[in-house]
């Protein structure tokens, strides 16, 4: 299974660019690009978009995202997953981790979960 990633607007664009360059078959979109939520979209709306479009959210939002996910789940909703970036990892390590996860994940493995990188 190959995951699809939606990069949060506060994630450095270099992550999406490097993922696209190194793994062109991986679907990587960023907030503010065509067919994605607009920049400034509230987190609860982003989770709804991820649920509807089957994208895992990649974010560095450690503070409010757990609260938004809990609210989302309490409304009997689901999300394919949320990956939270680790500031101690460099860009290359993070790219490798996201590629590894995309290549080795089982279907729905991260559903309704927040995963803090790294997992490998």
State the pLDDT at residue 2: 76
Taking residue 44's Cβ as centre, other Cβ atoms within 10 Å add up to: 16
pLDDT, tens digit, for every residue of 16-49?
A: 999 999 999 999 999 999 999 999 999 999 999 9
Q: Where are the alpha helices (DSSP H) in the chain?
A: 13-22, 43-53, 65-74, 91-104
Q: What are phi and psi of 27, to 5 degrees?
A: -85, 115
The answer to whether 115 touches 90, Cβ cutoff 8 Å, is no
Domain that holds residue 63: 4-116
The answer to whether 40 touches 10, Cβ cutoff 8 Å, is no
CATH number of the domain within which 64 lies: 3.40.50
> Position of tokens 């190194």?
22
State the pLDDT at residue 1: 52
The pTM of this model reads 0.96
Q: How far is CA 30 from CA 15, 66, 108, in A?
A: 10, 20, 21
Q: State the total domains in the chain.
A: 1
- Return d(Cα 57, Cα 30) in angstroms, integer: 9
Q: Which of 81, 117, 112 is nearest to 99 (CA)?
A: 117
State the chain's mean pLDDT as an integer. 96
């Amino acid at each position: 299974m190959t995951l699809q990633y939606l990069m949060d607007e506060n994630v450095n664009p270099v992550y999406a660019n490097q993922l696209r360059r190194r793994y062109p078959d991986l679907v990587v979109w960023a907030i503010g690009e065509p067919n994605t939520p607009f920049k400034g979209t509230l987190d609860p709306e982003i989770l709804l978009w991820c649920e509807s479009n089957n994208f895992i959210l990649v974010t560095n939002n450690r503070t409010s995202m757990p609260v938004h996910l809990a609210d989302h789940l309490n409304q009997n909703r689901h999300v394919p997953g949320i990956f939270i970036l680790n500031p101690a990892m460099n860009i290359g390590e993070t790219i490798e981790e996201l590629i590894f996860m995309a290549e080795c994940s089982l279907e729905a493995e991260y559903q309704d979960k927040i995963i803090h990188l790294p997992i490998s």
